[in-house]
Amino acid sequence: MITNFETITYDLTEYEFSLIRVLITGFNHRTKENPITADEILISMFPKYKITGARLRKLCNFIRSEGMIPLIASKCGYYVSHDPIEINNQIKSLEERAAAILNSANGLKKFL
């Protein structure tokens, strides 16, 4: 869980774990040419499951963290790529976002 976001970043539930295979199956049909947005996933893949955007991101994070599929996220949506350049670009993007968050935290430390 992440402090101040406990109500949306709690550990995956058994129910959510059961949705991972559904997500992976859906993502495996997506390429750079036909990505799927989070909104499209929530409407088309999960109309009856009542998953929120935050929980979808948690599921995507789990899929990547466990190395289940090479899931790429871009401004156009999610897709799977086995292209080493695209995977390296995704890694770079994640590292840059992590560094930006760390910079924000370090800035706030100046007030303590």
Summarize pLDDT for 46-71 with one digit per residue, the tens: 667 778 899 999 999 999 999 999 99
Q: At a CB cut-off of 8 Å and minimum separation 6, what does 28 contact? A: 69, 80
As a whole number, mean pLDDT of residues 35-41 equals: 94
- Hey, what CATH topology would domain 6-81 get? Arc Repressor Mutant, subunit A (1.10.10)
Q: Would you place residue 10 in the very low, low, confident or very high pLDDT band (cuts 50, 70, 90)? A: confident
What's the whole-number mean pLDDT along residues 101-107? 97
At 110 the pLDDT is 97
Distance of alpha carbon 31 from alpha carbon 95, whole angstroms? 22
CA distance 33 to 41: 16
The C-alpha R_g of the chain, in whole angstroms, comes to 16
Domain ranges of the chain: 6-81
